[in-house]
Chain A
Amino acid sequence: MVDLRRAAAIVGVHEHITRYAPDKSEAQIQGESIIKALEDAGLEKKDVDGLFCASMSVRNSGLNLADYLNLYPKMVDNTTVGGGSFEFHLSHALNAIYAGRINCAVITYATQARSGGVSVGTGGISRQGHPRLDPSPDSFEELYGLTTVGLYAMIAQRHMHLYGTTSEQLAEIAVTMRRHASLNPEALFRDLITVEDVMRSPVVSTPLHRNDCCIITDGGGAVVVVSPELARNCKQKPVWIIGAGEAVAHQGAGKRDLMYIAAKQSHVPAFEMAQVTQKDIDMAMIYDSFTITVLETLEDLGFCEKGEGGQFVLNGRIGLGGELPINTDGGGLSSNHPGMRGLFLLLEATRQLRGEFEGTERQVPDCKIALCHGTGGALGSRHSGGTVILARD
Chain B
Amino acid sequence: MTTWNKPLPTISGETKTFWDMCRRGTLLIQKCDSCNEYQWYPRAICANCWSNDIKWFPSSGRGTVWTFTVTNQNRTPGFDTGPYVLALVELEEGVRMFTNIVECDPKDVSIGMAVEVTFERATDQISVPFFKPAS
Give the residues in chain A near B40, CB-CB below 8 Å. Answer: 140, 251, 253-254
Give the residues in chain B near A147, CB-CB below 8 Å. Answer: 71, 73-74, 86
Nearest residue (CB) in A for B84 is A145
Nearest residue (CB) in B for A136 is B41
Give the residues in chain A near B86, CB-CB below 8 Å. Answer: 144-147, 150, 154, 205
The answer on a CB contact under 8 Å between B6 and A143 is yes
Q: Give the distance in Å from the alpha carbon of A204 to the alpha carbon of B71 in the complex.
A: 6
| B: interface residue count bin | 35 or more
The answer on a CB contact under 8 Å between B69 and A206 is yes
Out of A131, A144, A251, A255, name the residue touching B100 (CB < 8 Å).
A144
| A: interface residue count bin | 35 or more
Q: Give the distance in Å from the alpha carbon of A205 to the alpha carbon of B79 in the complex.
A: 13
Out of A125, A202, A204, A380, name the residue touching B76 (CB < 8 Å).
A125
The answer on a CB contact under 8 Å between B41 and A254 is yes
The answer on a CB contact under 8 Å between A124 and B72 is no
Does any Cβ of A come within 8 Å of B21's Cβ? Answer: no
Nearest residue (CB) in B for A152 is B69
The answer on a CB contact under 8 Å between B10 and A141 is no
Considering the complex, which residues of chain A in the window 144-184 have a beta carbon less than 8 Å from any beta carbon of chain B?
144-147, 149-150, 153-155, 157-158, 161
The answer on a CB contact under 8 Å between B99 and A136 is no
Q: Give the distance in Å from the alpha carbon of A161 to the alpha carbon of B78 in the complex.
A: 29
The answer on a CB contact under 8 Å between B73 and A133 is no
Does any Cβ of B come within 8 Å of A126's Cβ? Answer: yes
The answer on a CB contact under 8 Å between B67 and A139 is no
Does any Cβ of A come within 8 Å of B121's Cβ? Answer: no
With A154-B67, A254-B39 as given contacts, are A124 and B76 in contact (CB-CB < 8 Å)?
yes
Chain A nearest CB, measured from B23 CB (Å): 15
Interface string of B3-16 (1 = CB under 8 A from A): 00011111110110
The answer on a CB contact under 8 Å between A255 and B98 is no
With A150-B86, A255-B95 as given contacts, are A158 and B78 in contact (CB-CB < 8 Å)?
no
Give the residues in chain B near A153, CB-CB below 8 Å. Answer: 69, 71
Q: Give the distance in Å from the alpha carbon of A380 to the alpha carbon of B39 in the complex.
A: 17
Does any Cβ of A come within 8 Å of B37's Cβ? Answer: yes
Does any Cβ of B come within 8 Å of A137's Cβ? Answer: yes
The answer on a CB contact under 8 Å between A140 and B9 is yes
Nearest residue (CB) in A for B90 is A254
Interface string of A203-230 (1 = CB under 8 A from B): 1111110000000000000000000000
Interface string of A362-384 (1 = CB under 8 A from B): 00000000000000000011000
The answer on a CB contact under 8 Å between B11 and A122 is no
Interface string of A109-123 (1 = CB under 8 A from B): 000000000010011
Nearest residue (CB) in A for B47 is A253
Q: Give the distance in Å from the alpha carbon of A380 to the alpha carbon of B41 in the complex.
A: 15
Q: Give the distance in Å from the alpha carbon of A26 to the alpha carbon of B109 in the complex.
A: 43
The answer on a CB contact under 8 Å between A204 and B10 is no
Does any Cβ of A come within 8 Å of B111's Cβ? Answer: yes
Out of A136, A150, A155, A380, name the residue touching B74 (CB < 8 Å).
A150
Does any Cβ of A come within 8 Å of B114's Cβ? Answer: no
Does any Cβ of B come within 8 Å of A3's Cβ? Answer: no
The answer on a CB contact under 8 Å between A157 and B71 is no
Give the residues in chain A near B74, CB-CB below 8 Å. Answer: 122-124, 145, 147, 150
Does any Cβ of A come within 8 Å of B119's Cβ? Answer: no
The answer on a CB contact under 8 Å between A135 and B10 is yes
The answer on a CB contact under 8 Å between A254 and B96 is yes
Does any Cβ of B come within 8 Å of A142's Cβ? Answer: yes
Give the residues in chain A near B61, CB-CB below 8 Å. Answer: none
The answer on a CB contact under 8 Å between A140 and B75 is no
Does any Cβ of A come within 8 Å of B133's Cβ? Answer: no
Chain B nearest CB, measured from A121 CB (Å): 8
Give the residues in chain B near A134, CB-CB below 8 Å. Answer: 10
The answer on a CB contact under 8 Å between A133 and B72 is no
Q: Give the distance in Å from the alpha carbon of A135 to the alpha carbon of B7 in the complex.
A: 12
Q: Specify which of A140, A144, A153, A203 lies most central, judged by the most chain B CB atoms within 10 Å of its CB.
A: A144
The answer on a CB contact under 8 Å between A123 and B76 is yes
Does any Cβ of B come within 8 Å of A359's Cβ? Answer: no
Out of B41, B72, B75, name the residue touching A119 (CB < 8 Å).
B75
- 10 nearest interchain CB pairs? A124-B76, A254-B40, A254-B95, A139-B9, A135-B12, A253-B47, A145-B79, A153-B69, A158-B67, A253-B39
* Extra pairs beyond A147-B74, A149-B71, A204-B71 (5, CB < 8 Å): A119-B75, A126-B77, A144-B86, A161-B111, A207-B69
Residues of B within 8 A of A (CB): 6-12, 14-15, 37-43, 47-48, 66-79, 84, 86-88, 94-100, 111, 128
**What are 16 residue pairs bridging A and B, where the CB atoms are less than 8 Å apart in the complex?**
A124-B76, A136-B42, A136-B43, A140-B9, A140-B42, A140-B97, A150-B74, A153-B69, A206-B71, A254-B38, A254-B40, A254-B41, A254-B95, A255-B38, A255-B39, A258-B88
Residues of A within 8 A of B (CB): 119, 122-127, 131-147, 149-150, 153-155, 157-158, 161, 202-208, 251-255, 258, 380-381
